[in-house]
Amino acid sequence: MSLHRTGPGIITIDDKYSLPGGIKALLSNYDIDGDTPKQEHLDFLNTRVAPLLVSHPAHIWLQGSASHSGSDQHNMDLSLRRVNKVVAHLVSRGVLMGQIQPSAVGETMAMSGVNEDQRDRAVAVLVLGVAPSPPPPPPRPVIPATPTSTVFRIRMLGGLGGGSFGLAADQLYFQIWDHRNSLTCFYQYTGGGLGRSVRLPLSVTMRGPWNEFTTTGPISVNQFGGAARFTTAGGGNWTSNHLNMMGLPPGLATVPRSMPINTGFTMGIGASTTVGDLIIFNGTPWPFTGP
């Protein structure tokens, strides 16, 4: 193959991705057999990407790709050179290497049946800022004793899932509500395990609806911390999710033990199962009467 000029670089921003401090875009229309970012790509990296990363606790995922033209090995090497030049440019602008996670897929995800498509000659960009936090709680009252119940509701407030090379990690936020006693607590789940994703190795899940569940005996809303397992599969509005709380007090369990949970829209497609800890944010429950 030989270098063929294709005109200005194209930047396509995914407007459906709206988390604060983040951006999702495709830098495309690289020259055929070319690995150098075009001026339009560099301007976008300088003005929209680097400011989100420099001096901020944010991370960026990059994925280089190539069209069908050329051999498989040639296109894998070409997509790797493309993503490495973007990495080098970001580092020159002050981004730390520890913030960057590059990858290359060659022509494996190229448009079917089309030798040359400007969207295939590209580097995909995903910047993620600080993970979403639970909403600010109301002032905490002094509660002499925490009431117990066997009927609760749970919802996911938001979550991040990522992985590569068959490994997976989750950071999820949940709210559990004892609606009979009008009390609530917030929990963070962090776990690692096995998984597989499609295209970018990261998924973002938005806030979901309330899910009813029961327990085999009375328990307070602040006693759900401890070991847990989270399993998920799918993407968009079509996901299957199960949470198994394995750290409940002796003799207690949820019904069912592995609870199905409806979540919000998931930006990403894949499947994973992770084991970790469900950690409570507020040891003393807050009053809560519903959304």
pLDDT digits (tens, 9 = 90+) for 66-91: 999 889 999 999 999 999 999 999 99
Check residue 108 and report its DSSP letter.
T
Indicate whether 17 and 120 sit together in one domain.
yes
Give the model confidence (pLDDT) of 225-269 as tens digits: 999 999 999 888 889 999 999 999 999 999 999 999 999 888 888
Percentage with pLDDT > 70 across the chain: 92
Closest CA to 157 of 139, 171, 175, 136: 175
End position of a domain, from candidates 97, 128, 159 = 128
Phi, psi (rounded to 5 degrees) for 79 = -65, -35
Q: How far apart are alpha carbons 92 and 125 in whole angstroms?
A: 17
Q: Is residue 120 domain-shared with residue 155, that is, in the same domain? A: no
Cβ–Cβ under 8 Å, residues 119 and 26: yes
How many domains does one find in the chain?
A: 2
**Pair 226, 158 in one domain:** yes
Local structure of 69: helix, strand or coil: coil
Q: Which residues of the chain have pLDDT under 50?
A: 143
Name the E strands within 119-166: 122-128, 149-164
Residue-range definition of the domain harbouring residue 92:
10-128
Dist. CA 195–CA 198, nearest whole Å: 10
**Nearest CA among 212, 261, 258 for reference residue 234:** 261
Examine residue 4 and state whether it is found in any structural domain, yes or no.
no
181 and 76 both lie in a single domain:
no
Assess whether 64 and 165 both reside in one domain: no
